[in-house]
Structure 1
Amino acid sequence: MTKRIFRSILGVTLVVLAASLVLVTGVLHGYFEDQVGRELAARAAYIARGVEQSGTEYLKDLPGESRITWVDSDGTVLWDNQENPAAMDNHAQRQEIRQALLAGTGTAARYSDTLAQKTLYYALRLSDGSVVRVADTQYTVWAMVLQAAQPVALMMLLAAVLALALASRVSKQLVAPINQLDLDAPETAECYEELSPLLGKIRSQQRQIRRQMEDLRQRQEEFAALTETMSEGFVAVDQETRVLACNPAALRLLGAQAAPEGESVYALNREAPFRRCVEQALAGRRCEVLLESEDSCRQVIASPARREGQTAGAVLMVLDVTEKERRDALRREFTANVSHELKTPLTSILGTAEILKTGMVAPADVEHFAGNIHRQTQRLISLVNDIIRLSRLDEGGDLGPWESVDLHAAARRVLDRLTDAAQGKGVALTLTGGGAVVRSVPRIVEEILYNLCDNAVVYNHPGGSVTVTVENGSDGARVSVTDTGVGIPREAQSRVFERFYRVDKSHSGGGTGLGLSIVKHGAAYLGARVDLESREGRGSTFTVTFPPERDGTCVPDDSVVS
């Protein structure tokens, strides 16, 4: 704007200067022409008086500043101070001579293009009818300009420099108040009155923008508060896959370190299923995919975001379905295992019953076949009872009253129940330690101890031993069950608490595979912790640590749940 004002002022100044020069030159030229005309008239008057008195002698004595010509009434040149009268043409048709002969005086002006001069003539009629003519030359306007070219050029240069400086200063002064305007506070601005409507409109727009910005800020804060507390990931992208919004949960679930502001959503996750899901959503189709890794499973739900019927972007929801998928896998595995475990004894019972039904069994073998049905039925009942116990522990319902339980006495009762089984296998049972009382559910405590001790007997070597130790520790009462059996390989120790998992089915002894799972879930219900130490071929030690009493109840420890 400063440059435009500068150029405008400078241009106007130069145009005015040039016009003024032309006008002054024209006025001066006209003034000088009038002045010369008056001088010629005065000179012709006194020359006419001298000629009437002295004739040619008077003319000869005059100085030669102007051209003087004496013409007879018939146009013959009688005398001329610059030319030979005999060689001059008749002047009767000359404009000034003809006027003088008719009216007494005459004037004329003739131009010389070659000399760029104008000659002024004044003729005065004498009393005898002859005419005295006085002539003088005057430069034309262009001749005057050319003669004064150097001073005029210098004057124009000085004027141009002065105009340049003044234009620069004036333009800066004009623009300075505008440049000094504080648009953030236009009400305090002191500027040109012509700008008042503009400043008023700016103030109005600023108030509207402030209100809109405040509304947007509040909405953004509300949106951020909602999305940041979500456990589900939320990502909004535009049609070019640039991230518009992203909450911390999405970064965590997608394995990204920071939100890529203005970058592609593919910077969050570069897995092929994720890319295909985003592409389908941007193409206008809803898409769901699972992103699976060794320790997690995430579900991505991408939906297109439409504006005026066109897909303008996509909204992605990222859900952590690791636990759900694990539970579904465990449920499917449990169902398959239960079906298999139930099918085995039922098949045996059905086969034995069919043999008895055909009557092909000798009377002496009936007892054997009946015994087989009885064993398989007992196994089936035991399996069903274990499944029921495990289901109750999973549901976490009321499994009995909380009471003070003497762990030493409970362990003694369990070992008494296993005496016959231990003797049949030649395994020695030993109980050591003193009394330890905890606040717990007696029924669950005995189930935990029974399953641990039963496994210690079943998976032991003939002539081996099982030692149960009860003691009070700094972190609570502990019961340890140590055997000298086959032990558990290191790679299998993390899975022995799973339902129906057996390290070696050849050593199962007909068990259901649910004993350690019941131990794990029972300990979780009581808030206890189960630790395992085992070396293959050297035996195992299971330690159950009960928490200290807290207001008469035990607080469950989620860390024991796998």
Structure 2
Amino acid sequence: MRKKILLAMTLVAAVALVLSYLGIIAFFYQQNRSHFEDSLHDEGVLLALGLEGQSPERRLEILKQYHEKTPVTRFTLIAPDGKVIFDSEHDPKTMENHNSRPEIVNARLNGDGSAIRDSVTLNTDMSYYAKALPDGEVIRVSRAMKTMYATVLTGLPVLLGIAAVVFGLAMLLAQRQARVLIDPLNHIDLNHPLNPEKPLYPEFRPLLERLDEQNQDKELAAKSRQEFSANVSHELKTPLTSISGYAEIIRDGLVQPEDIPGFADRIHQESSRLLALIGDIMELSRLDESGLPPDATDVDIFDICKDVVSRLQPRAMEFFVALSLSGTHATTRGVSVLLHEMVYNLVDNAVKYNKEGGHVKVWAGRTLDHPQIRVEDDGIGISLEDQERVFERFYRVDKSHSKETGGTGLGLSIVKHTAILHHAEITVNSEVGVGTRIDVTFPT
């Protein structure tokens, strides 16, 4: 960044210097050219007045005297037929007819004329002024004039000297300014980027806000991991303790032979719960680490709901809950296995957290041009404060009921992660004692 600042300031100084130099040269060139033409005009008018009424011999003497006094000015006397009578720098006999020269033509028509052009004889830019005399002759004065290019070259050494000074100052200022600009960045507290005691440039505010958001996200993620680890340890410890206790009682012969099958059944239940918990934890880890696979296909959500309802009908009958399906076929882009597990968890929760004689209605189809799955029950319901946390890992609305039904506390968390992978939106509407409705809306 420091090098970029130095380079930028140096380039700015160079461009500013060159443009300023060219602008100044152009301005003074125009001023000098205007003054040059006025001076040549005045000189030509005075010379014409001095030549009027003089004999041809006297005119030549006057022109020679003028040339001796002002050798930088070229004097040319042209006859009415265009032949050169006198020229202060060349032999008139070797010069071509001048009647076609623009300044001569204008002088014969308007009394005087001027022109600037490249002189063939002198091979330089020349400024010409011609004044007609009463007898038809024309006196012309001319002077070599620097071109714009020559003017630029003349001032080039001065420019290089100024450039060296300017670049030196620019480098010093750029280094100092770079230090001033970069120093606050080097002292940013990455853990607390919005620290009011260390204000930074307003332009960096959006970046610092993003850093602060990332820090907060990291803190929340770390806290979530800690809570998850603590919950996992607790949830794994509970069934393991039960299994160990039952096995120890049987080992020590403290159980009557006729009670052993009952203890074995409890060990089996706790083992099944443990396996289910481990399976859900592994599934959550897989969902956390992966995104939607690139080989995702179009999945019919109605067919998935139909299969889930068919599988859970026996379980619903055990809980004396009526389970039904309605809707139409609709497809969304996704992974069939993950969507199947999501719907299974939703319907399974609706059955488990219901009441005898309750109902669970599953609907799948399209609404407002979006594929949607709806699971609605008239069970125990969820309070408003619990609705905000119901998708957290190991969070249970009714812990005693969860234990009775064998819940792991991870089902709705899996639902949430699966929905996120499929860019779906989950909406919960529930009232305690009335029931719960969960809508999963997929993108078009």
TM-score, normalised relative to structure 2: 0.56
| 1:544 counterpart = 2:444 | no
Match of 1:321 among 215, 220, 228: 215
- Report the Cα offset of residue 250 of structure 1: 5.4
Contact persistence 1:400–1:443 (CA under 8 A) = no
Residue 496 of structure 1 is matched in structure 2 by 390
Counterpart amino acid of residue 388 in structure 1: M
Consecutive unaligned residues of structure 2, counting only runs of 5 or more, are 1-23, 29-161
Q: How many Å separate the matches in 2 of 1:251 and 1:413?
A: 49
Counterpart amino acid of residue 298 in structure 2: S
| 1:407 counterpart = 2:301 | yes
Q: How many Å separate the matches in 2 of 1:236 and 1:469?
A: 51
Match of 1:219 among 174, 178, 181: 178
Partner SS for 2:316:
helix
Residue 462 of structure 1 is matched in structure 2 by 356
Contact persistence 2:424–2:441 (CA under 8 A) = yes
Consecutive unaligned residues of structure 1, counting only runs of 5 or more, are 1-184, 189-202, 255-295, 299-318, 549-562
Residue 338 of structure 1 is matched in structure 2 by 232
- Report the Cα offset of residue 442 of structure 1: 0.6
Contact persistence 2:423–2:443 (CA under 8 A) = yes
Partner SS for 2:427:
strand
Written as runs of structure 1 = structure 2, the 5 A alignment for 1:145-160 is: none
Residue 420 of structure 1 is matched in structure 2 by 314
Partner SS for 1:430:
strand
Residue 431 of structure 2 is matched in structure 1 by 535
Contact persistence 1:400–1:441 (CA under 8 A) = no
Q: Which moved more, 1:496-505 or 1:212-221?
A: 212-221
Match of 2:201 among 239, 243, 246: 246
Residue 406 of structure 2 is matched in structure 1 by 510
| 1:353 counterpart = 2:247 | yes
- Report the Cα offset of residue 364 of structure 1: 1.9
Counterpart amino acid of residue 521 in structure 1: H
Q: How many Å separate the matches in 1 of 2:216 and 2:316?
A: 43
- Report the Cα offset of residue 360 of structure 1: 2.7
In terms of Rg, which structure is larger? 1
- Report the Cα offset of residue 379 of structure 1: 0.4
- Offset from partner CA, 1:319-373 (integer Å, 9 cap, x none): 8521111111111100110011111111111111111112232222221111111
Match of 1:394 among 284, 288, 293: 288
Contact persistence 1:433–1:471 (CA under 8 A) = yes
- Report the Cα offset of residue 401 of structure 1: 4.6
- Report the Cα offset of residue 246 of structure 1: 3.5
TM-score, normalised relative to structure 1: 0.45
Aligned residues: 282
Residue 112 of structure 1 is matched in structure 2 by none
Q: How many Å separate the matches in 2 of 1:235 and 1:449?
A: 43
Residue 443 of structure 1 is matched in structure 2 by 337
- Report the Cα offset of residue 457 of structure 1: 0.6
Structure 1 segments, 4+ long, off by >4 Å, are 203-206, 220-227, 230-237, 247-254, 397-401
Residue 476 of structure 1 is matched in structure 2 by 370
Written as runs of structure 1 = structure 2, the 5 A alignment for 1:173-252 is: 207=166, 210-212=169-171, 215=174, 219=178, 223=182, 245-246=200-201, 248-249=203-204
Q: Which moved more, 1:340-349 or 1:353-362?
A: 353-362
The 1:532–1:204 alpha-carbon spacing in structure 2 relative to 1, beyond 3 Å, is closer
Residue 374 of structure 1 is matched in structure 2 by 268
- Offset from partner CA, 1:286-305 (integer Å, 9 cap, x none): xxxxxxxxxx996xxxxxxx
RMSD over equivalenced CA pairs, Å: 3.7
Partner SS for 1:513:
coil
